[in-house]
Amino acid sequence: METYQMNKQYVYELLIKLLHQQEQFEQEEGSLFLQQLRNSIEFDTPLNMTEIHVVSCIGQHEPLNLTAIADKMVLSKGNVSKVTTRLLKNGWVRKTQLNDNKKEVFFRLTSPGKQLYAIHEELHDKVQAQFMGILHAYNEAELEVVKRFLLDLIGFYEHSIAEITEQTL
């Protein structure tokens, strides 16, 4: 096999390894996060990562309506509706209306939701700082190649997801 083909195969194998490690990291990060959360905030019901990320999205942009959350998180409105219903029931968010728009419902964080948001942001800031440390080793031209590669991967996965979705309809 020629060097170019071997390098492409190796990049593919590295991607698979990265995806596996990402999954493991997310599980470990989620466990660590939930443990920090339990140590800081008293709560009765379990949270999943989607719920935590919806709280984070609301915390970053509040007040937000259901459509804005769905758009920002690239989730269906139905999924966001289910998540916000659980978050409302468990006291992480509350519904509000703007003075000039009584028809539309917006979501804001409650006091426990703000604590959850702060803990989540602290953990993300730590991970981002570590990642930036890795990127610091690359020059601008190398970063452009990495950026192009990642954009191509995102496009590949978006296309693949769309094809799978079409097949299941």
- In terms of Cβ atoms closer than 10 Å to its own Cβ (0-12, 13-18, 19+), residue 63 is middle
* Structure confidence at residue 124 (pLDDT): 86
- The model's pLDDT over 73-89, given as tens digits with 9 standing for 90+, comes to 988 899 999 999 999 99
Q: What are the boundaries of each domain within the chain?
A: 1-40, 44-134, 138-169
Query: Under 8 Å CB-to-CB from 32, ≥6 apart: which residues?
Result: 123
CB 155 within 8 A of CB 161: no
CB 80 within 8 A of CB 70: yes
In the predicted model, is pLDDT for residue 168 greater than 90?
Answer: no
With H, G, I as helix, E, B as strand and everything else as coil, classify residue 139.
coil
Considering the domain 44-134 in this protein, what is its CATH number? 1.10.10.10
With H, G, I as helix, E, B as strand and everything else as coil, classify residue 74.
coil
Per-residue confidence at 123, pLDDT binned at 50, 70, 90?
A: confident
